[in-house]
Structure 1
Amino acid sequence: MRGQLTGRIGLILGTGGALAALPAVALAQDATAVIDAANSTAYIFNTLLFLIGGFLVMWMAAGFAMLEAGFVRTKNVSMQCLKNIMLYALAGLMFWAFGYDVLYAGASDFINFASMLEPGYPMEPVGLVGATDAATAALQGASLDTGYSVASDWFFQMVFCATTASIVSGTVAERIKFWPFFIFVAVLTAFIYPVVASWEWGAGFLDDRGFSDFAGSTLVHSTGGWAALMGAIIIGPRLGKYVGGKVIPIPASNIPLATLGMFILWLGWFGFNGASQLAAGTIGDVADVSRIFVNTNMAAAGGVIAAIVYTQLRYGKIDVTLAINGALAGLVAITAEPLAPSVGLSVIIGAIGSILACLTVPLLDKLKIDDVVGAIPVHLVAGIFGTLIVPLSNDGATYGVQALGVVSTGVFVSAVSALIWFILKLTIGLRPSEEDEIIGLDQAEVGVSAYPEFVAT
């Protein structure tokens, strides 16, 4: 009997203790639930930022296509459209197969064919975490610990990769065959761009030294610009561009189309720069994205006004093509640091980037470097300027390290690009025959004319 009573008293006391502990347990559970809810909310908004920014940047592919279709002659419009369709599709495949691993894991894990066969590849980079099991990779991709869906990050990074290839397309337009361009884009998107991006965004040596390139003035735009420059030099100018020491103007075929392309790119840039904040789960992050939108827009506006005023004063008439490229140069210049500057400084940065692009156009002609759409002045020159000027508004950056990033990118991309262009030139050839170039690549290679009513039958 005594033992039973003692047991009951113990049970009562234990139950009372447990009941007394219930409020504390409930509070702990409530706190955990609140934390999980906050993490889930941040995860959702961060992922949405990547996805919305990604499809805005994807829309830039249409902008590049329309810009180039407007700047080339009518006999080459279909070819430019085809090249832009192809390069976006190919960039996605190459970035899926190789580029994402290279960006985050480094070139040491360049190829992992076994992992490519897994259903989840590359939603979790194999070289970075060692996850080869598809189910494990999928779970890791959905973990709140990442702060965002890994698939959304892959998509966002992929469209940046495609943008780099688009830059090259316009420069070498009207005098390169389709298949050599196809091969170069494959190398650019699988290896060249991912390696450069890994130096900063993959926690590489530039990131270790404090290099700052918020959305890619150097990592994206000057990478495309250096590749384009090497291509323009090695391929040579279009027939009839430079005759007897004189520059023969080759007018754009469709200014309204080029203008549409510019505005599509301007719109896409809000995703390019805004989503590079990489987070939208807090009030501070969303406020920063808003400031990035404003600075991005105003830099483009400064670029337009600067180009209009410059061409009026320099040539006596306003050049609409330079006004178009002035907007783009302003956008490229602010891309390296679109958050820290004031609105006024953003306007100035965009305006200076635009003027530098305008000044580069006649310099290229003096050097007999034929850039059909002006991608080298816009993406390379304005990209370099935007990168170098970052310490003016960002105290965490230094001019020396920024210069190191610019030079490292220039040397690597130029060397590898020149090698690929030379190999293609010596093997399958880069240029079409003179006859094909004269009649236009729409007829010679594509077989579908963009403007058939203007083609003699």
Structure 2
Amino acid sequence: MSIATNMKRATIGGLAAAVAALAATPALAEVEIETAYVFNTFSFLVSGFLVMWMACGFAMLESGLVRTKNTATICLKNIALYSVAGIMYYLIGYNLMYVGVDAGWIGSFSIFYDGSLDEAALAAEVADVGYSTMSDWFFQMVFVATAASIVSGTVAERVKFWPFMIFTVVLTAVIYPVQASWTWGGGWLSEMGFSDYAGSTLVHSCGGWAALVGAILLGPRKGKYGADGKVTPMPGANLPLATLGTFILWLGWFGFNGGSVLALGSAAAAAEMSIVYANTNLAAAAGVVVAIFMTQILYKKIDLTMALNGAIGGLVAITAGPALEFSFLAIIVGGVGGALVVIAVPLIDKLKIDDVVGAISAHLVAGIWGTLCVAFFGGGDLVAQITGIVAVGIWTVVTSAIVWGILKVTIGIRANEEDEMIGLDKAELGMEAYPEFGSGSSSM
């Protein structure tokens, strides 16, 4: 038996003993139903607004990694996609994801989610559900915008605003909820044993697949790739802003993963949430450190943008199974996630797929790795995990290709060459994010 296995079992035994000791203490033996209701609801709400704060993180990260002439546009897209995602999830997405799935493939097509109507029946709800229904809706809603944010960063600097927003409507109303219903809604993947704690595949890989299809159909930015295969760097304009965005995402991820415990009304739930927080932090840190060392070795210089994406790769990787009791495993999961980002970014460039912020590498590639880790380190079924990865990939690629394809042949999805040259801020918004830089900023 390996040392790691022994240490893991010892940690599990220690945790179980501690929880049992808490339960045996007379003052902590039971929690009143209403108290548990309050704490569970509180967890959903606080975790939800932490995940909502990730929308700011994506906006800042992407604003820092695009050129100045496209900064205002990327800011607009991020606040618009979050708003549209929330409305579409209310109108149709939540019902497709959770209502009447029953081990099947899709939920209800009924319009509007009005769980707030049930709040009046508080006494029955406390006993039967254990949390406010609208707190749960809010927590689930903020996740859907993350998938759309992933697409935004990849296709930045050449996708037109309105076609992108139409795609966001379909992604958040149908594409994301349907595949998520297969697991979180109690659908067929859940029945076969597929596990994705907080969404390495259901959120991040889904967004990554949609981004990949969009990037392929859009084509690269002008001048990005030479005829000889040479890659022309197009560095972002504000790396401090990108760094701030990464830290905001890191903070929001505690709500993303920690809130996915889905309870805080017992000592066991509080203990699990603490483990999830610690493992989330360790995985992100490992992703950064590995990315720093790898870029130093490979390029003889440290790449800040790789370090930032290394953090995100580590966070995405641990998201599928952050409740590992042996926390050293979280370092391995996150470290490999960071390494995969460093490897995947130049590989995707060699394929002439232009991903402005590296989102495909950080979310899709690291998401696949993290989902497999549930089988490698968390006791999950490897066949079920692979099946889930493939099923979500096929669904998202096919549906995204249909939507992007229809938009491309009807209203068009790409800005014309002149608009791309002067920047989408001037072309679509008629403004500049940094007007004090003068007219020369359009060529940056």
Q: Does 2:152 align with 1:169? A: yes
Superposed counterparts of 1:21-420, under 5 Å: 38-105=32-99, 106=101, 110-113=108-111, 116=112, 121-123=113-115, 134=117, 138-139=120-121, 142-244=125-227, 245-395=229-379, 397-420=380-403
Deviation at 1:453, TM superposition (A): 1.9
In 1, Cα distance between the equivalents of 2:244 and 2:391? 35
Task: Report deviation, 1:110.
Answer: 4.5
Q: 1:110 to 1:440 in 2, by over 3 A?
A: farther
Could you tell me which amino acid in structure 2 is paired with residue 279 of structure 1? A
Structure 1 residue 341: Cα displacement? 4.7
Deviations 1:28-49 (A, max 9, x none): xxxxxx9997111111101111
Q: Is the 8 A contact 2:98 2:107 kept in 1?
A: no
Q: Tell me, in whole angstroms, the C-alpha distance in 2 between the residues paired with 1:222 and 1:381.
A: 7
How far apart are 1:144 and its partner, in Å? 2.9
Deviations 1:182-205 (CA, angstroms, capped at 9, x unpaired): 000000000011011100110000
Q: 1:283 to 1:143 in 2, by over 3 A?
A: closer
- What do you get for the CA RMSD once the two structures are aligned? 1.7
Query: What do the CA deviations read for 1:334-354 (whole angstroms, capped 9, x no partner)?
Result: 000000252211111101011
Q: TM-score under structure 2 normalisation? A: 0.89
Runs of 5+ consecutive residues of structure 2 not aligned to the other structure: 1-27
Q: Quick one: which amino acid aligns to residue 121 of structure 2?
A: L
Decide whether the 8 Å contact of 1:100 with 1:122 is kept in 2.
no
**Superposition misfits of 4+ residues, deviation over 6 angstroms:** 34-37
The Cα shift of 1:94 comes to 0.2
- Paired letter, 2:347: L
Conserved? CA contact 2:44–2:259, under 8 Å = yes
> Could you tell me how far 1:68 is from its partner in structure 2?
0.2
Matched AA of 1:334: I
Aligned mates of 1:176, 1:392 — CA distance in 2: 39
- The amino acid of 2:143's aligned partner reads F
Look up the match of 1:11: none
Q: CA deviation at 1:73?
A: 0.1
Aligned-residue offset at 1:385: 0.2
Residue by residue over 1:93-134, the C-alpha shift from the partner in whole angstroms, topping out at 9 and shown as x without a partner, is 000000000011247655334xx3xxxx4317xxxxxxxxx4
Give the conservation status (yes or no) of the 8 Å contact 1:303–1:327. Answer: yes
Listed one character per residue, the Cα deviations across residues 211-262 of structure 1 (whole Å, up to 9, x for unaligned) are 1100000000000000000000001101110122211000111000000000
AA in 2 matched with 1:361: V
Q: Could you say which residue in structure 2 is the equivalent of 1:435?
A: 418
**Contact 2:208/2:364 (CA < 8 Å) preserved in 1?**
yes
Percent identity (aligned) = 58
Residue aligned with 2:182, SS = helix
Distance 1:109 1:207 in 2: 14
Letter of the aligned partner of 1:371 in structure 2?
A: D
User: C-alpha offsets along residues 48-78 of structure 1, whole Å, 9 cap, x if unaligned?
Assistant: 1100000000000000000000000000000
CA distance 1:442–1:409, change in 2 (3 Å):
same
Judge conservation of contact 2:324–2:330 (CA < 8 Å) in 1: no
Counterparts of 1:84 and 1:402 in 2: how far apart (Å)?
Answer: 31
Q: Tell me by how many angstroms 1:362 deviates.
A: 1.0
Compute the displacement of 1:269 (Å).
0.2
Structure of larger gyration radius: 1
d(CA) in 1 for partners of 2:33 and 2:125? 12
Deviation at 1:394, TM superposition (A): 1.9
Rounded Cα–Cα distance in structure 2 between residues aligned with 1:270 and 1:108: 29
Tell me if structure 1 keeps the 8 A contact 2:155–2:215: yes
Please state whether the residue corresponding to 1:246 is helix, strand or coil: coil
Aligned length: 407
- How far the C-alpha of 1:431 sits from its partner, in A, is 0.6
Provide the TM-score with structure 1 as the length reference: 0.87
Counterparts of 2:190 and 2:313, CA distance in 1: 25
**Structure 2 contact 224–234 (Cα < 8 Å) conserved:** yes
